């Protein structure tokens, strides 16, 4: 299965480029009529209430999926130490998304180097949340090795392929889930992907789908409103491949 969307949908600067003429209260409905999934980026900065998650659940189609970016408290403040309580807080807040919650993304800070002991403790603690899939976005190249990949594969956790101008991408598949974040290859959070760049990803995605993998792709190049249009273009390419 393939899920394509953007990293967030409630951007004020999309009002006159993507949501033209649409009332703000209807933005999620408008978005969900065009995409099959969304990555919730705002939860990285602030936990959302269960009531908010229930509202999003009610406003989206039955087949719509959410990917939830975990709060930075565990990943950036605690740097994966003592993860059990933080994971349970995330889980308890998100329970209102029900079966629409497909993946939880854990983004590590760029300065956090490989620490296998911390990673093992974190992965063990994730066993408290088996109802959803998990993906980890590593931003320091020291993590990019066979030892880390093997540990992730054993736990069926996906590497997040994170394409950007300002940090390296680990191009590694560790599970039957492939999770891709496209932040803007030339200018992080801003630049649009060209048709040849999108075609490159479309070909790779097709290969993974043919292998029976589930693929999630989220565009995070929101600053100049490229994300939704890149996502629509990629979807159109995949429909004809």
Q: Are 220 and 181 in contact (CB under 8 A)?
A: yes
**What is the per-residue burial (b if ≥16 Cβ within 10 Å, else e) of 93-111?**
bbebbeebbbbbbbbbeee
Q: Is the pLDDT of residue 241 over 70?
A: no
In this structure, the chain runs to a length of 241
Tell me how far apart the alpha carbons of residues 121 and 15 are, in angstroms, rounded to a whole number: 43
Q: Which two tokens stand for residue 98?
A: 């029900």
Tally of domains within the chain: 1
Q: Which tens digit of pLDDT belongs to each residue from 40-57? A: 999 999 989 999 999 999
Predicted TM-score (pTM) of this structure: 0.96
Tell me how far apart the alpha carbons of residues 3 and 9 are, in angstroms, rounded to a whole number: 15
Q: Which tens digit of pLDDT belongs to each residue from 193-231? A: 999 999 999 999 999 999 999 999 999 999 999 999 999
* Residue 31: CATH number of its domain: 3.20.20.410
Exposure on the CB side of residue 29, measured as CA atoms within 13 A: 8
The residues facing 194 across adjacent strands are none
What is the structure's pLDDT at 97?
A: 96
Percent above pLDDT 70 for the chain: 99
| Residue 16, number of CB atoms within 10 A of its CB | 10
What is the structure's pLDDT at 210?
A: 97
Tell me how far apart the alpha carbons of residues 95 and 225 are, in angstroms, rounded to a whole number: 31
Domain span at 104: 2-240
Local confidence band at 140 (pLDDT 50, 70, 90 cut-offs): very high
């Amino acid at each position: 299965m393939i899920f394509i969307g953007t990293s967030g949908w409630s951007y004020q600067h999309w009002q006159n480029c993507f949501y033209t003429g649409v009332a703000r209260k209807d933005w999620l409905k408008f978005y969900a009529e065009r995409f099959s999934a969304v990555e919730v980026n705002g939860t990285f900065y602030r936990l959302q209430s269960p009531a908010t998650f229930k509202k999003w659940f009610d406003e989206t189609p039955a087949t719509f999926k959410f990917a939830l970016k975990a709060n930075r408290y565990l990943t950036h403040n605690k740097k994966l130490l003592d993860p059990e309580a933080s994971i349970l807080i995330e889980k308890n807040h998100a329970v209102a998304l029900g079966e629409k919650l497909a993946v939880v993304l854990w983004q590590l800070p760029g300065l956090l180097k490989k620490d296998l002991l911390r990673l093992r403790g974190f992965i063990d603690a994730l066993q408290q949340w088996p109802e959803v899939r998990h993906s980890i976005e590593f931003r320091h190249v020291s993590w990019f090795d066979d030892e880390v990949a093997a540990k992730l594969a054993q736990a069926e956790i996906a590497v997040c392929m994170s394409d950007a101008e300002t940090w390296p991408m680990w191009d590694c598949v560790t599970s039957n889930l492939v999770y891709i974040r496209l932040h803007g290859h030339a200018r992080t959070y801003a630049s649009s992907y060209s048709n040849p760049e999108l075609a490159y990803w479309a070909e790779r995605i097709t290969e993974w789908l043919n292998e029976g993998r589930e693929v999630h792709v989220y565009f995070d190049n929101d600053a100049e409103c490229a994300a939704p249009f890149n996502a629509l273009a990629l979807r159109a390419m995949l429909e004809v491949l």
